Structure 1
Amino acid sequence: MDIIHGIVDRWTFYPAGASLLDLTGKVVIVTGGNTGIGYWTVLHLARKGAKIYLAARNETKALDAIKSITEAGIGSGEVIWLPFDLKDPRLAKKAAEDFLSREKRLDVLINNAAFLTGPYNADQDGVSEVVMTNHISTFLFTQTLLPLMIEASKMPDSDVRLVNVASDAHINGPSANPDIRFQSIDDFNGEYKEMFWPDSGRYGVSKLMNVIYTTELQRRLSTKSIPITCISLHPGSVDTGRAWRTPYPRLATIVFKIFFIGPDQRAYTSCFAAASPLIKADPDKYKGQYIRPVGRIVAKNPNVAKAGLAEELWETTEKFLRGLGLYTPMSEWL
């Protein structure tokens, strides 16, 4: 199915038609901004005048990316490295606190970094690596930054946005199981050994978590009349250079090159979510929505709206982070 989407996206995607707001004076974070979609997202938004924190783990790769982006030409834009690691929630929180010590506003947060595929591995805290990276640490990073985003939303002519890069992988596989639950960390740690490609099942469930989190956070903010727009998205079928991690890497490489386009154009979906004037003109239309290239609102996995599932995900995540002494629930400060 994703191959079909790749073909359709390629036929219907016109990057020259993308229109982005002037971001002069705006502060943006792009996680995983040193490579792939993240790199091009940083480049496109920096060219609109934004001050961008490129959040990445490896200093050498981050600084090389910043050098390349700067040399490509970004006008008045600025790109700064933010040390960042999602594999350990302690480091994710440290990165957020580092940013808070530097800036007085945050206009756009793009959670782009993700763990894609790899053997099942539980970390030092007993959580699968893909869930820790893609959901728990991302949740903590975002929630730590949220008070500053709320303050920015009170500023004149504010247009604060949270963009979570998800995937259509959240729709199929174990994510589509109507009996899926998130009542405990054990529920987070499914291995899906019965699948031909278990990696894809684990990744898909982590992306379902992203979409549910985005939707639920939007609900909670809107209930408090906080004007922040939360959007999750599928960037399109992207050749990210990860074909070698699939069961048949040579075949996958050929398929990816033929049917999928590069991250330079696929970054436009993230850029649309972050800076399209269409969203500023009609934020209620996009709040809590899931979009595909470029800016098309599409249906989410029905499990996103499953009664009680969002609350389970939120409460299990909060309970885990509180147990590590890393988190104060949103309900206690908002």
Structure 2
Amino acid sequence: MTTWTPADMPDLTGKTAIVTGANSGIGLPTALELARHGARVVVAARSAEKGEAAVARLRQAVPGAEISFGRLDLADLASVRTFAAGVDRVDLLINNAGIGMIGRAETKDGFELQFGTNHLGHFALTGLLLPLLVAVPGARVVTVSSDAHTIGKLDFDNLGLERGYGRMTAYGRSKLANLLFTLELHRRAQRAGLDLLSVATHPGATATGFVKLGPLQWLLGVFLQKAEAGALPSLYAATSPAIRGGEFVGPKAKLLTPSETARSAEVAARLWDVSTELTGVRFEEISHH
């Protein structure tokens, strides 16, 4: 499977793709290839200035492509609701945006920032867009996780991480939540008999603005793969006919095995209930199964 490239992507004409955090990092080349293959692309980003700049770059690269900007702050549930309310169709939802390795902070709604942005924001977004996703045949939700999920631990009695906050462990926890959510969404969609695939990805260590090394930033470019390579798992997960749902796609489109905790249906169901409670988003279409 190492030979798969974006050139192998099918024609996406008529499909609408939403890519969160598409203004930079691996989100930009993800949006670019989707647009190149005919999809209508929505660049969902927190900063209007950066989002509009990304749209301009994409339009320049793919003349005639239908590309628009949508303001989305995943650390603010009101913003997530406003964004979702403005969407009229979605075939491919790429939950790509993420923050990491930062000191402890909170979202607008008082959640620990990495967990709140990377997991809860995307959980709410996916749930709010679910009626549109299930209305089109072959819809897919791709959620970017990481191999860092293996260091994550979920303590349901300390979700705010008021005790024992670590930049990397908090990041790992948010990425574990991404995987638990992906696999649980897959299970629930299957039980409900829905034509919806849920897939997780690990982009691999990628040279993006994600990790800040100050004057040593150039070193990242030497040791890490380019953002285009980091986008490959997302593109494969979003478009390959080989995808059945519930996979964890890694670099070079290879399938990875999530950790034992990430595969736990019990932990996933509990996280789902807690996430529903915290966000108020209910996934009506699949919650009765």
Question: What is the TM-score normalised by the length of structure 2?
Answer: 0.91
In structure 2, relative to structure 1, the CA distance for the partners of 1:171 and 1:250 (3 Å cut) is farther
Q: Secondary structure at the match of 1:294?
A: helix
CA deviation digits over 1:101-136, x for unaligned, max 9? xx2x31100001111221101345331011110111
Larger Rg: 1
The aligned residue for residue 122 of structure 1 is: 106
Unaligned runs of 5+ in 1: 1-11, 154-158
SS of 2:134's partner is: helix
Which of 139, 144, 166 lines up with 2:123 in the alignment? 139
List alignment gaps of at least 5 residues for structure 2. none
Q: 2:181 aligns with which of 213, 219, 223?
A: 213
| Residues 15, 66 of structure 1: alpha-carbon distance in 2 compared, 3 angstrom cutoff | farther
Match of 1:291 among 249, 256, 269: 249
Sort the Cα spacing of 1:123 and 1:228 in 2 relative to 1 into closer, same or farther, 3 A: closer
Q: Judge conservation of contact 2:93–2:141 (CA < 8 Å) in 1.
A: yes
**CA–CA distance in 1 between the matches of 2:182 and 2:139?**
14
State the percentage of identical aligned residues.
31
CA distance in 2, matches of 1:191, 1:21: 48
Residue 27 in 1 paired to residue 11 in 2? no
Shift of the 216–143 alpha-carbon distance from structure 1 to 2, 3 Å rule, reads same
Structure 1 runs of 4+ with >6 Å offset: none
Closer, same or farther: CA 44–329 of 1 in aligned 2, 3 Å:
closer
Look up the SS of the partner of 1:34 in the other structure: coil
- For the residue of structure 2 that corresponds to 1:28, the secondary structure is strand
Relative to its length, the structure with more helix (as a share) is: 1
- CA 298–18 in structure 1, closer or farther in 2 if over 3 Å, else same: farther
Give 1:167's match in structure 2, choosing from 131, 143, 146. Answer: 146
What is the distance in 2 between the residues matched to 1:274 and 1:307?
23
Instruction: Tell me the secondary structure at the aligned position of residue 308 of structure 1.
Output: helix
CA RMSD of aligned residues (A): 2.2
TM-score (norm 1): 0.80
How many residue pairs are counted as aligned between the two chains?
288
1:37 aligns with 2:26: yes
Deviation at 1:229, TM superposition (A): 1.0
C-alpha deviation, 1:23, in angstroms: 0.4
Q: Which AA in structure 2 matches 1:118?
A: I
Q: Does structure 2 retain, via aligned residues, the 8 Å contact 1:31–1:110? A: yes
| Cα distance change of structure 1 residues 260 and 199 upon mapping to structure 2, 3 Å threshold | same
Q: Give the whole-Å Cα distance in 1 for the aligned partners of 2:258 and 2:191.
A: 21
State how 1:167-246 maps to structure 2 within 5 Å.
167-172=146-151, 175=152, 180-182=154-156, 184=157, 186-189=158-161, 192-193=164-165, 198-244=166-212
Q: Deviations over 1:205-257 (max 9, x none)?
A: 00000000000010000011112111000011101134425xxx566752x22
